[in-house]
Structure 1
Amino acid sequence: MAELSGASEDQAEDIAAFRAALSKLGEDHRRVLQVLFPRIAALQERGDTDGALALVAKIKAILSDPERRPQ
């Protein structure tokens, strides 16, 4: 994984876990994430780390809620 050459071991593990989880998501969830990721990046670029982290927490809650998972 060339893009991980500067990443720490913990970051590499987080990225691998994210990719594994992403591969298990349904198409609807992937579309939602495609919309929200740029918003998270924009919040972070503006220095609104708290806003970005709050959005990440909301996404995590949605994705981990079994009632919202596609059947």
Structure 2
Amino acid sequence: MTTTHLVATAPTLPGLSTEELAAQLTLRPQSIRKRYCKTGAYYCLRPVKLPNRRLMWPADAIEQLAGAQ
């Protein structure tokens, strides 16, 4: 009898966590969270709020910020 083990993989979401976005923008994650709490967005970016209460920012966030200037 052989047993097969299935490896559960998390689905990859098309987006960035707040920490990943902050790293790309060379900011602290708290700076992004603070602006989001005050205005509902980080400049022109609006995240999706996941069921676990985390924020998922658009994958093309850097391009959107560059285009807004």
TM-score, with length taken from structure 1: 0.28
Tell me: higher relative CO, structure 1 or 2? Use CA pairs within 8 A at least 6 residues apart.
2
TM-score, with length taken from structure 2: 0.29
* Bigger fraction of residues in strand: 2
